Structure 1
């Protein structure tokens, strides 16, 4: 019976009866999840840390806040679509992803490529209008790395490093948007935030990739989770220590308040050992659960830093 059901699904994908362009594109761009909001939270977190350092009010960074939401959310969606275009054959071989719009036939390849090109142009336009020319130029390497990231899975064993670099660069557009300062040691803040986000994203993607490791090994996907094997938790521990150290350095550089230290840095530090100890590599669903908690933690950290900026202006 299971074989017959599978055959029916495959036939549906091939004859186009599963085609649903609007719903498929919506899913390809992950608009049905909060992933775009999680990506935007990285920009917001950096924006609020810069506001702390420069003693800016929430009102003075409101335009940058809105621009980051639009730019990062759209960029995330477009390059998730691009990732699925590149991974369409791999996704069909992985149990968790074989029902995604491209391998299932919900969206055709030509349709996906057309939407990607149109979306990329729209992302550039939105960024230019809301954040200006200088920020748009700083976004160019982020778009470039986002483009090559899916291709790295065929070439290197640590595509997570490319993803980490891509997301870590997201702390720079807010720095340009609010106007960086030239005082001694001012560059310590963006540098420490870059290090924190890099370590966190590699750590986060390792947790996520752990649930697909058996399928990735069979499909020949190059992944740091596959490379580390039984040493996965050791790698996560190193990344966890470094991300907490970098966030601590960033809080010092931003002259963060006791509120930020208590409800932000301390909570983040406590989450690392909890995540690593809770992860069960033998349970394929464990990685997804821990990933979800950590993605929400990024949004939480942005909210706490935003509240801290708002409180300081009262």
Structure 2
């Protein structure tokens, strides 16, 4: 890996807006919250949009709630930032031993763990103010998700499936989006959520390929290490399961051909990721991981088109 310029982080894209434009005092905190890598915000937000859009397909007379979508985008940015900050506090000793992460603000000494904790609480409090704009069921569902957020950073130490716990947490937006419109759960939501969990496990397995050698040296577990030479097949199975569950969710709310056709774009992107991923090539897994933003966009547009139809 090439040397990282002082003050920056190795796993952020060079020349990002935080490095170029953020005030000097803000930069370490912006990097803690991953504002220099907005991909995580999108990946947390897209399931919210899917939940909102699936609810619109289920009850077309109510329409798509655009105000809720905007609120959830802000909430996703805040909760992703709070979650990443908490993850960095918990993982500061591990991050110091991994080439890709040792330049992060806490292990590099730019921010103390105590100040990071204050920053995390501040983000969570603002996010809670947004959550309280929704119905009581959605509020309690959002509060319950904090359990998953809290335990995820520890899972890489005790199980080969930390990606599954990330999937449970990062897919929670589907539940929030759906319940904000319906005030309840439903089988269509269960299928959407399960498919999204499989999708997250798949894309985070590809992302974990970047750290597979360092993880093996320090004893950190991941599905990338677990699947080993069968990682392509395993991710293909996960992505196929995700697509089938998404299809089943839409069929359950009387959706059909419009979604089925347009969702093939998302399926094609996932197939491309699996076909072309190569951990031996620098940046290859990261770029495949990043392309899931477009998977999320394609599926959202497919659901919205189904609602319009």
TM-score band, normalised by the shorter chain?
0.7 to 0.9
Tell me the equivalent position of 2:222.
223
* 1:26 counterpart = 2:24: no
Shift of residue 284 of structure 1? Answer: 4.1
* 1:93 counterpart = 2:97: yes
What do residues 63-112 of structure 1 show as CA deviations (whole Å, max 9, x unaligned)?
A: 32223222222111110111111111222222222221112222121110
Tell me the equivalent position of 1:161.
164
Question: Distance between the aligned counterparts of 1:197 and 1:161, measured in 2?
Answer: 11
Tell me the equivalent position of 1:150.
153
Shift of residue 308 of structure 1? Answer: 4.4
Question: Distance between the aligned counterparts of 1:47 and 1:234, measured in 2?
Answer: 32
Aligned length: 292
Which runs of at least 4 in structure 1 moved beyond 6 Å after TM superposition? Answer: none
Tell me the equivalent position of 2:66.
62
Question: Distance between the aligned counterparts of 1:272 and 1:66, measured in 2?
Answer: 27
Tell me the equivalent position of 2:196.
197
What do residues 18-63 of structure 1 show as CA deviations (whole Å, max 9, x unaligned)?
A: x9541111111112222213311110111101101111454x5123
- CA change 1:308–1:33 in 2 (3 A) is farther
CA contact (8 A) 2:42 2:293 kept: no
CA contact (8 A) 1:29 1:80 kept: yes
Select 1:106's aligned residue among 106, 110, 121.
110
CA contact (8 A) 2:98 2:211 kept: yes
Question: Distance between the aligned counterparts of 1:107 and 1:307, measured in 2?
Answer: 45
* 1:79 counterpart = 2:83: yes
Question: Distance between the aligned counterparts of 1:253 and 1:82, measured in 2?
Answer: 37
* 1:256 counterpart = 2:255: yes
Shift of residue 175 of structure 1? Answer: 2.1
Tell me the equivalent position of 1:41.
46
Tell me the equivalent position of 1:14.
none
Equivalences for residues 173-192 of structure 1 within 5 A: 173-179=176-182, 187-192=186-191
Tell me the equivalent position of 2:212.
213
TM-score (norm 1): 0.85
Instruction: Structure 2 unaligned segments of length 5 or more: list them.
Output: 8-22
CA contact (8 A) 1:64 1:178 kept: no
Shift of residue 269 of structure 1? Answer: 2.2
Question: Distance between the aligned counterparts of 1:218 and 1:56, measured in 2?
Answer: 56
Q: Output the aligned Cα RMSD.
A: 2.5
Question: Distance between the aligned counterparts of 1:63 and 1:9, measured in 2?
Answer: 41
Select 2:55's aligned residue among 26, 29, 50.
50
TM-score (norm 2): 0.86
CA contact (8 A) 2:137 2:183 kept: no
